[in-house]
């Protein structure tokens, strides 16, 4: 797979003396994790389709510090935050979009106290905006009639009360949308948050992602839709644990929109 995508950097924009409409904050998962990189690429395709003038920071982007903060390392978080804010303010960034609800929450809620004030939105909100403004049209053929259930990421849903945008966007796929018994404000975590992604779980009788996958499988889905790279990994692992990987796929909303 070596299709080349045009992903301009802020440095390039700066050199031309231009400002993009929006900065795409790729995040660490979106930059390095093999599964999440596909989500980044799908989202870039959506941005191109809608003719969005966007840029990334590239090698000037660093980890938001979110995961360090949740692990209890406030020092490391603030160091990361202050460095990122310096870069973002240097480029006079006004608006940021990201596919990672953890970056979204962190930059939106925790950077302002350290001097970083931006309009931060999640990619599902941005896709909805593009559709509403008529900049993006979704054919809605590929997934017509498929059953899709959406898993709410904690840091998008409960943490920031964004429940509707992902669901509104999904309607454009013409799929049949089903809800798990625990959804929106009562959605069960996938098990990755609070730095759990990077450690073994404590002793218990099952893994959280398996329990959440059970919730999803009860809706008999063809596709589990996610809006977070970490949820994606956890649900994919859950599907494998349940040996359902041939029947059910886990896809990010950006991927579903890019391919429908």
Partner 1 sequence: MEYLPNILFAIILILGIGYFAKNIKKLIRNIKLGHEVDASDHKSQRWANMARIALGQSKMVKRPVAGLLHIIVYVGFIIINIEVLEIIIDGLLGTHRIGQEFLPASVYGFLIGSFEILAVLVLVAVIAFWLRRNVIKLRRFMANEMEGWPKSDGNIILYFEVVLMCLFLIMNATDTSFQLAGSGNVVSQFMVPWFNGFSPDTLHLIERTAWWLHIVGILVFLNYLYFSKHLHILLAFPNTYYGRVEPKGKFNNLDAVTAEVKLMMDPDADPFAAPAEGKEDEVPAKFGASDVMDLNQIQLLNAYTCTECGRCTSECPANLTGKKLSPRKIMMDTRDRLEEVGKNIDANNGEFKEDGKQLLGDYITHEELWACTTCNACVEACPVSINPLSIIMDMRRYLVMEQSAAPMELNNMMTNIENNGAPWPYNQMDRLNWKDE
Span 112-131, contacts to partner 1 by CB under 8 A? 113-114
β-strand partners of 122: 98
Angular region, 194: left φ>0, alpha ψ -120 to 50, beta rest: left
Of 152 and 167, the one with the shorter C-beta distance to partner 1 is: 152
Of 107 and 175, the one with the shorter C-beta distance to partner 1 is: 107
Of 191 and 227, the one with the shorter C-beta distance to partner 1 is: 191
175-214 binders of partner 1 (CB under 8 A) = 185-186, 188-189, 191-196, 198-208, 211-212
The pair of three-digit structure tokens given for residue 204, joined into one six-digit string? 């218990």
Least distance CB 17 / partner 1 (angstroms)? 22
Answer for which of 75, 144, 164, 181 binds partner 1 (CB under 8 A) is: 75
User: 111 burial class (0-12, 13-18, 19+ CB within 10 angstroms)?
Assistant: buried
Q: Please report how the helices 229-241 and 208-217 are oriented relative to each other, as an axis angle in degrees rounded to 10.
A: 80
Least distance CB 22 / partner 1 (angstroms)? 17
> How many amino acids of this chain bind partner 1 (CB under 8 A)?
71
Of 51 and 186, the one with the shorter C-beta distance to partner 1 is: 186
**Residue 250: half-sphere exposure toward Cβ, Cα within 13 Å:** 26
128-147 binders of partner 1 (CB under 8 A) = none
Q: Assign 3-state DSSP to the chain and report helix, strand, coil percentages, each to 5.
A: 45, 10, 40
Beta strands of the chain (E only): which ranges?
22-25, 54-55, 95-98, 119-122, 147-150, 176-178, 223-226, 249-252
Q: What is the DSSP string of 61-126?
A: ----SHHHHHHT-HHHHHHHHHHHHHHHHHTT--EEEES-HHHHHIIIIISGGGT---EEEEHHHH
Answer for which of 51, 89, 109, 142 binds partner 1 (CB under 8 A) is: 109
155 counts as binding partner 1 under rule CB under 8 A = yes
Least distance CB 33 / partner 1 (angstroms)? 8
73 counts as binding partner 1 under rule CB under 8 A = yes
Which residue, 242, 245, 231, is CA-closest to 154?
231
15 counts as binding partner 1 under rule CB under 8 A = no
Least distance CB 150 / partner 1 (angstroms)? 16
Of 128 and 196, the one with the shorter C-beta distance to partner 1 is: 196
211-230 binders of partner 1 (CB under 8 A) = 211-212
Of 83 and 177, the one with the shorter C-beta distance to partner 1 is: 83
């Amino acid at each position: 797979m070596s299709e080349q995508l045009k992903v301009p950097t802020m440095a390039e924009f700066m050199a031309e003396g231009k400002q993009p409409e929006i900065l795409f904050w790729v995040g660490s998962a979106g930059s390095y994790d093999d599964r999440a990189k596909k989500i980044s690429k799908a989202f870039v395709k959506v941005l191109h389709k809608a003719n969005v003038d966007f840029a990334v920071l590239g090698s000037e982007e660093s980890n938001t510090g979110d995961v360090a903060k949740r692990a209890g390392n406030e020092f490391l978080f603030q160091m990361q935050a202050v460095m990122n804010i310096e870069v973002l303010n240097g480029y006079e960034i006004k608006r940021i979009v990201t596919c990672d609800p953890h970056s979204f929450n962190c930059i939106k809620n925790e950077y302002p106290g350290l001097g970083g004030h931006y309009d931060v939105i999640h990619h599902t909100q941005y896709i909805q905006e593009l559709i509403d403004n008529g900049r993006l049209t979704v054919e809605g053929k590929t997934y017509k009639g498929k059953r899709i259930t959406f898993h709410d990421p904690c840091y998008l849903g409960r943490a920031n009360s964004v429940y509707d945008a992902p669901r509104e966007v999904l309607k454009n796929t013409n799929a049949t949308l089903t809800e798990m018994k625990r959804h929106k404000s009562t959605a069960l975590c996938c098990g990755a948050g609070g730095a759990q992604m990077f450690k073994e779980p404590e002793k218990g009788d099952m893994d959280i992602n398996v329990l959440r996958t059970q919730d999803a499988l009860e809706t008999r889905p063809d596709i589990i839709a996610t809006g977070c790279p970490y949820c994606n990994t956890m649900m994919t692992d859950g599907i494998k644990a349940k040996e359902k990987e041939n029947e059910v796929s886990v896809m990010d909303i950006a991927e579903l929109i890019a391919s429908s």
